[in-house]
Structure 1
């Protein structure tokens, strides 16, 4: 027996493929700040390591950076250009050396593995603020 995949609904066809964001940078930040876990995102985005807001939640700068990459990848629907652009605006970003840049690449990839295909979908029914 072969099974036929379910037909796509009009709602499904309106969602772009992963790797294509549906939000501008400003919209992404606004939605992330107002999400249920918005305080965590805001802390990750606006605080420098080792400020108390970060050190009380994460045991290392690397874990905090992974958490921020994970949030950004989810909201940006894995649009890596947008993720990198926004990460470079965060206070966790350090442009000091190639070693740090390599670490960011590893963490960005790890965030993608953690999320799999999960990402923001404008059809989730969340209220806009």
Structure 2
């Protein structure tokens, strides 16, 4: 494992764990609905995790001079995750105070966008 990849893993481990916890909480506390509705209500965090994984994988295929398509795809994945965050508000039928978890979700998204962009572009300055 290269030093760059180790740095990436350390910087993205906390948001990865937090997003996984948010997805599990949304899934568990939405017991009144079918399985697919529960997955849809908790999918925003899972899509953000896909964004993290994409940034990590794309960083091994990019160089500091060739990263433009990967940053666009990465940004689109995060936008889709945010859209599904609003879908979660509509589809979740459990305790509505769970939606307060959208605040750390949005903070994680901002952090992932910032660090993930640096990961893909190899720009740690």
Higher helix share: 2
Normalised TM-score (structure 2): 0.31
Normalised TM-score (structure 1): 0.30
Higher alpha-carbon Rg: 1
Which protein has greater RCO, CA pairs closer than 8 Å, 6+ apart? 2
